[in-house]
Structure 1
Amino acid sequence: MWSSVLPLLVAVSPALLLQLPDYTSTQEEGLWQDYKHGRHDAELPDKKHFCSWKCLLFTLQWPGAFCQSLDEETLCTIPPSINNWTIHGLWPLKAWRCCKCWPMFESDVQELDAELKDHWPSLLRTQPSFHFWRQEWEKHGVCAACVEGMNSPLRYFQICLKLRGQFDIQRLLEDAGITPSCQRPYKLVEVHQVLAPHLGDKHEIQCVTDEKDREVWFQVKIPLSHNLTVGCDHDVDDGNPAPPRNSSHGHPCPPQVPFYYFPIDHQDPQRPCG
């Protein structure tokens, strides 16, 4: 169970903590220390806590529909080794005043490089995978870093990879006979029934609409509480992270309209089903 794994993840040697560069000013160092330990900033007029968020969204995306989510589909590429759901991000919701003084370098996640390339690749021709990871850290990871188990780039990405192993969506779907197809659409209720026992009732199945007006399964958003347990009350419309650059918003798959779960086509990722 995840609850039994979490303490092992949190108990990481302090030597793994990110060391800030020497050029960090005293003021920035103080801000980082306050943020790292979730300390209250008495100088703020509204006196809010640094770690004000309560929920996170762990988001997985399906490469077979990623191209359809882009404004410019030609930007899309799917590496030959990618044949499974990939990580899009782990996003604290309603996070504010995130520390901007915490850079990320390739050496911070060097030991995870192979795993990240397998499970968290960039699917944009113009964006190397490390740039994708760094973007996610700087936008969302630093907001999660007030939690001890995620208070360095290494720890944050370790947690994301553990969550990816915990939520093996493709295996759950295959066991239920739900496989990628260009011919067979699926109903929201049948997919939800398969995933809900493992992802919680509040998970969201997202679609995009392709050029033939077909609803195409794009993402799954899994709400997690502050301690990474499944399920959390949150307002999806308030605090949701912005979509990646060159990407259109996914939307909840409509309950009354069947959607397609396109196969991955590495040769022609833009048109897996014509």
Structure 2
Amino acid sequence: MRILPGPDSSTAHRPVAVKSTAKPPDTAIHQQAVCCKCVPDSCEIPTDTPDWSIHGLWPNYKNGSYPQFCDGVPRKFDVSLIKTIEVTLRRMWPNLYPTKTAESFWKHEWEKHGTCAQNLGNLSSELLYFKTCVNLKRLDIIEAAFYVAEIVPRTEPHLLEDIRGALKKELSNGMHVQINCLTDKKTRQILLGDVRMCIDKSFRPIDCPHSKDLQPAVYIQGHPPPLPSFKVFPLLFLSSDSLNFRFMRRL
């Protein structure tokens, strides 16, 4: 599962700089993450969006690759099937780009990833896929983890290891999480893009694979990918034996 920063994500205009002790290179991560030159659109954050928002829930193989655009039934997205949770989705799973609708983002996530997870009972339909993601309730934990670790907006950098340690302690029960970064093309700052937590088929946290172990995505039946609502920089294919829950931080 992936969580994106934002206000699933609150708006924070002061950057949270992060510096890694790993060499090379040192890494700086700021809270202005999701909308910094990662796609050719401006960024517009809905007023009711929390600090962290959901990007998606992705089935993955152990080597980090993942299936895409599977021939599940149904395969095509139907927004009418999720009307009962639409208000919740608009808040917790928004599209931050004004030229694209929230529905287009949900459509992309369902057709690319949700169709490949239908063999699990809790993800066997479009409604169950989105409802399960929302019910995982991991968004507030991220903000709480940073608060407890005193990782707050400031001009001085935070250590990347401190951020990862806070997330492992509060979010993933000590399991390895992945942190994805973006680069601001104007300032060349490296910014916090999203947090990625891996879970097994019973939705329990497990270790995500390390970057050196990751493999490319696998295309199913030759379906080409559509233009996504979000482009991740740099592109990382994460996860472990099953599901990758991704969150975004709003800025």
TM-score normalised by L of structure 1: 0.64
| CA distance 1:245–1:82, shift in 2 (3 Å) | closer
Output one character per residue of 1:224-266: Cα deviation in whole Å (capped at 9) or x when no partner: 11221101564433338989356352368xxxxxxxxx983xx
Shifted more, 63-72 versus 82-91: the winner is 63-72
Output one character per residue of 1:80-131: Cα deviation in whole Å (capped at 9) or x when no partner: 2224111111111133672154123222111111111111001111211112
TM-score normalised by L of structure 2: 0.69
CA contact (8 A) 1:69 1:248 kept: no
Quick one: distance in 1 between partners of 2:114 and 2:2? 14
Counting aligned pairs with the same residue, the percent is 26
The structure that is strand-richer by fraction is 2
CA contact (8 A) 1:109 1:154 kept: yes
Equivalent residue letter for 2:59 = P
| CA distance 1:222–1:263, shift in 2 (3 Å) | closer
What is the aligned-residue RMSD (CA, Å)? 2.7
Alignment of 1:70-219 (within 5 A): 70-74=38-42, 76-93=43-60, 94-95=66-67, 98-102=70-74, 103-165=76-138, 168-181=141-154, 183-197=155-169, 198-199=171-172, 200-210=174-184, 211-219=186-194
| CA distance 1:248–1:149, shift in 2 (3 Å) | closer
Displacement, 1:214? 1.3
Displacement, 1:73? 4.4
Larger-gyration structure (1/2)? 1
Output one character per residue of 1:132-163: Cα deviation in whole Å (capped at 9) or x when no partner: 11111111001111111110111111110122
Equivalent residue letter for 1:161 = V
Quick one: distance in 2 between partners of 1:149 and 1:101? 15
Equivalent residue letter for 1:85 = W
Equivalent residue letter for 1:59 = R
CA contact (8 A) 2:97 2:229 kept: no
Output one character per residue of 1:158-201: Cα deviation in whole Å (capped at 9) or x when no partner: 110122347620111112211233x1321111111111123243
The structure that is helix-richer by fraction is 1
Query: Aligned to 1:230, which of 200, 205, 210?
Result: 205
Look up the match of 1:43: none
Is 1:61 aligned to 2:45, yes or no?
A: no
| CA distance 1:111–1:97, shift in 2 (3 Å) | closer
| Unaligned runs of at least 5 residues, structure 2 | 7-31, 61-65, 220-224, 237-248
Aligned partner of residue 57 in structure 2, secondary structure: strand
Look up the match of 2:228: 244
CA contact (8 A) 2:54 2:93 kept: yes
| CA distance 1:117–1:209, shift in 2 (3 Å) | same
| CA distance 1:104–1:263, shift in 2 (3 Å) | closer
| CA distance 1:87–1:68, shift in 2 (3 Å) | same
| CA distance 1:167–1:140, shift in 2 (3 Å) | farther
